[in-house]
Structure 1
Amino acid sequence: MTAFRTLLLLCIFGAISTSAIAANTVHGTMSKPPAKSVQMTAEEVFQLYYNRTWIWKNGAGYFAAKQRDFRAWSGEGTGSVGVGHWFTTDTGKLCFRATWYAQTGSAPALTCFSHRKRGNVIFQKREPDGDWYAFKTTPAKADDEYLKVRPGDHATAGYKRMRLKLSQGK
């Protein structure tokens, strides 16, 4: 992998996982799946994300229901934008395959998060090396990461601003 591609992917993954890392600190993390938890179905995971935006510390990603389009932006480093598609799996994963563009070029990436549930708690883990943490609780807790997954498209405006910034080389 080229140095550029490595740097680009590190910037992208940093933006995506910053919120999850903050949640890990609050909720605690586990390297193994939570005891007595079960995998979520593809439909259950779909219901968590479709037509919603996951707000990150320095960016956001929108999971459109129409054609499962994915659009995102990150302000980390000089910034980047991503465009592609998202999907869910029968093993409880949310994945998005996107091409990420930065001033120095572009790189494809596949990012996945696993989901499990136990009672009123949904757990999430960034694949392949993340730790499990409480992602969504019912009733919701003030520090739930899922509170950053909001209905509607809150990413496209930032995507357009960042795309313009990148095209101007700023």
Structure 2
Amino acid sequence: MTVFRTLLLLCIFGAISTGAIAANAAQSSMAKPPAKSVPLSTEEVFQLYYNRTWIWKDGAGYFAAKQRDFKAWSGEGTGSYGVGHWFVTDPGKLCFKATWYAKTGHAPALTCFSHRRRGNVIFQKREPDGDWYAFKTTPAKAGDEYQKVRPGDHATAGYNRMRIKLSQHK
């Protein structure tokens, strides 16, 4: 199970973070929070994701309004899909706890992202060991990762396709 979990988590986290890393490759990464930045409030983080879909390089995750359900899929490798819930904690953190399913089985995972603001820029960092990068600017700039966070559900169709695909491998 340990090897399976490691492979599954690498697949999932690769799909989630690849887009963010690629979009910000030109920026220097930061291990420490940006100077003079402050954590977003719970409400601010909530408004960033509520009833929106984060489109990834090869998949998507939907942060539903109803009961804060979370659905996602990734086509990386043999593919996977996840189902669970999302929540916001202080200071400025978005998390989603989901069970991820792949051809070889399933495993639970908790994924969190911290958010901080400095001026008109919201920075994001994947916890625990990601690097801070500009996530959203006001006014929006080309290449902002937040431009991939879109209103509505753009993940359930892919989630359903992946569920069917993986069920055929049993």
Give the TM-score normalised by the residue count of structure 1: 0.97
Q: Is the 8 A contact 1:26 1:143 kept in 2?
A: no
Give secondary structure in 1 for the equivalent of 2:109.
strand
Opposite residue 53 of structure 1, the aligned amino acid is T
Within 5 Å, give how 1:41-120 maps onto structure 2. 41-120=41-120
2:164 paired residue number = 164
Deviation at 1:29, TM superposition (A): 1.6
Runs of 4+ in 1 over 2 A off after TM superposition: none
Deviation at 1:132, TM superposition (A): 0.2
C-alpha offsets along residues 128-167 of structure 1, whole Å, 9 cap, x if unaligned? 0000000000010010000000000000000000100000
Deviation at 1:13, TM superposition (A): 0.6
2:13 paired residue number = 13
* Structure 1 unaligned residues grouped into runs of 5+: none
Q: Is the 8 A contact 2:24 2:143 kept in 1?
A: no
Deviation at 1:120, TM superposition (A): 0.5
C-alpha offsets along residues 2-27 of structure 1, whole Å, 9 cap, x if unaligned? 11111111111110111111133133
1:149 paired residue number = 149
Opposite residue 71 of structure 1, the aligned amino acid is K
Give the CA RMSD over aligned residues: 1.1
Q: Quick one: distance in 1 between partners of 2:22 and 2:67?
A: 31
Give secondary structure in 2 for the equivalent of 1:25.
coil
Q: Quick one: distance in 1 between partners of 2:164 and 2:3?
A: 25
Opposite residue 13 of structure 1, the aligned amino acid is F
Q: Quick one: distance in 1 between partners of 2:151 and 2:62?
A: 9
C-alpha offsets along residues 59-115 of structure 1, whole Å, 9 cap, x if unaligned? 000000110000000000100000000000111000000000001000000000000
Opposite residue 68 of structure 2, the aligned amino acid is R
Opposite residue 120 of structure 1, the aligned amino acid is N
Q: Quick one: distance in 1 between partners of 2:133 and 2:28?
A: 6
Deviation at 1:126, TM superposition (A): 0.3
How many residues are treated as equivalent by the alignment?
170
Opposite residue 104 of structure 1, the aligned amino acid is T
Q: Does 1:39 align with 2:39?
A: yes
Opposite residue 56 of structure 1, the aligned amino acid is W
Q: Quick one: distance in 2 between partners of 1:162 and 1:143?
A: 28
Opposite residue 144 of structure 1, the aligned amino acid is D
Q: Is the 8 A contact 1:23 1:135 kept in 2?
A: no
* Structure 2 unaligned residues grouped into runs of 5+: none
Percent identity over the alignment? 85
Deviation at 1:169, TM superposition (A): 1.3
Give the TM-score normalised by the residue count of structure 2: 0.97
Opposite residue 147 of structure 1, the aligned amino acid is Q
